[in-house]
Amino acid sequence: MHLPACPSEPFNKKHHSRTVLVICGSTILFIFVILLFCFLVVRCRRKGSRRKSLDSSPTIEQNVQVTYGDLVRATDGFSESNIIGTGSFGTVYKGLLDGEGRKVVAVKVLNLQIQGASRTFIAECDAVKNIRHRNLLKIITVCSSVDFKGNDFKAVVFEFMENGSLDDWLHPKANEQSKPKKLDLTARLDIAIDVAYALDYLHHQCGKPIVHCDLKPSNILLDDNITAHVGDFGLAKFLKKVTSQYSTSSVGLRGTIGYIAPEYGMGNEVSTCGDVYSYGILLLEMFTGKRPTDDMFVGGLTLSMFVKMAFPEQITDVIDTHLLTPSDDAESMNYARATNCIASILRIGISCSNELPAERMETDKIIKELHIVRDMFLRNGNYGERQRVRQSGESPSTNIH
């Protein structure tokens, strides 16, 4: 064809080997990256699944399973004679649960005819399943079943608190046949510190912050050593984080009239500051003996304003008369010390119940201030016997008059 010969280069064996190595190496590296990525994805999923499993594992005693029939027998058919309290969503009965040792328990039976009762049951189970603290009321088990007529039945079984609620002690019923219950200054101060520890745990130490939303004397139970246990988490709410931001919300009021933070009435979302407000009102009630819903608080007058107006000259006029009863000159020094102690506590209560959420005390500061007050008061030695009784587990009757 008389065409020029095709140009050709000599075969470079070394160059060819290098190309093959680069291709093979790139392929192996790509496969390794893919396998590593798949391994990490699987591991993360397993870790997330394991964490979810741990988060969903309740501290409720799984080995205690009860049926509707068990609770019927435990409470003698939900007899009226076994009623130890009533609430917004149900009735609490004293019961004797069959099993090892026949344990005395408190059984809260939800009235499912009341709107929101089922929701409070779920909220309470969610709130308490992963928390454990000596100042929180322990749930033994729950029962979600049907009664003998086929109607839905829900109940929560708690540890039985021998000394009832704080409300029973602060405001004993006039028709009680037994001797009226009264708590002395040291007992009330200890209870105030117990409740502050419980709130601090809920707000800052149990993973997701929990707002109780219904802190009041009837939801604080006392065991045989007069140690306080905060209960009733039916209105509790989980927060993503502790925050001081307050945005509006269409959620209805959470809590009990007299103890609800004022910002809730303006549509603000629940916050830990709301619990602190309720705690402040609780402190004022504990050391004045007056409910925030007392008939005297009319025309815009509140318990917090009532106490604030008494400082400093008329402070003894607002203190619970059971706490200040000097009988002779020998007790005059103790009387003055007790007055100063209670005045300091009331100042903490006023600060906690401030109208502005941002100006309320944090729980850790509350605990610190209350310990300072207790140390100041205990210099006279009155507290030593109570502390000994608490540690030994003996009857605390010598400290309650």
> So which residues are the catalytic ones?
214
For residue 124, which of 112, 113, 135, 108 has the smallest C-alpha distance? Answer: 108
First to last CA, the chain: 129
Alpha carbon 267 to chain centroid, angstroms: 23
Q: How would DSSP label each residue in 287-350?
A: HH---TT-TT--TT--HHHHHHHHTTTTHHHHS-GGG----SGGGHHHHHHHHHHHHHHHHHHH
Q: How would DSSP label each residue in 77-101?
A: TT-GGGEEEE-SSEEEEEEEE-STT
Distance (Å, whole) CA 141 – CA 320 = 39
Sign of the alpha-carbon dihedral angle for 322, 327, 332, 334: negative
For residue 236, which of 326, 329, 129 has the smallest C-alpha distance? Answer: 129
How would you classify residue 299: left for phi > 0, otherwise alpha for psi between -120 and 50, otherwise beta?
A: left
Q: How many CB atoms lie within 10 A of CB 45?
A: 10
Residue 376 near residue 341, CB atoms below 8 Å: yes
For residue 71, which of 197, 165, 155 has the smallest C-alpha distance? Answer: 155
Polymer length of the chain: 401
β-strand partners of 155: 109, 143
Report the SS3 class of residue 261: coil
Report the SS3 class of residue 4: coil
Print burial letters for 188-213: b (CB count within 10 Å at least 16), e (below 16).
bbbbbbbbbbbbbbbbeebeebbbbb
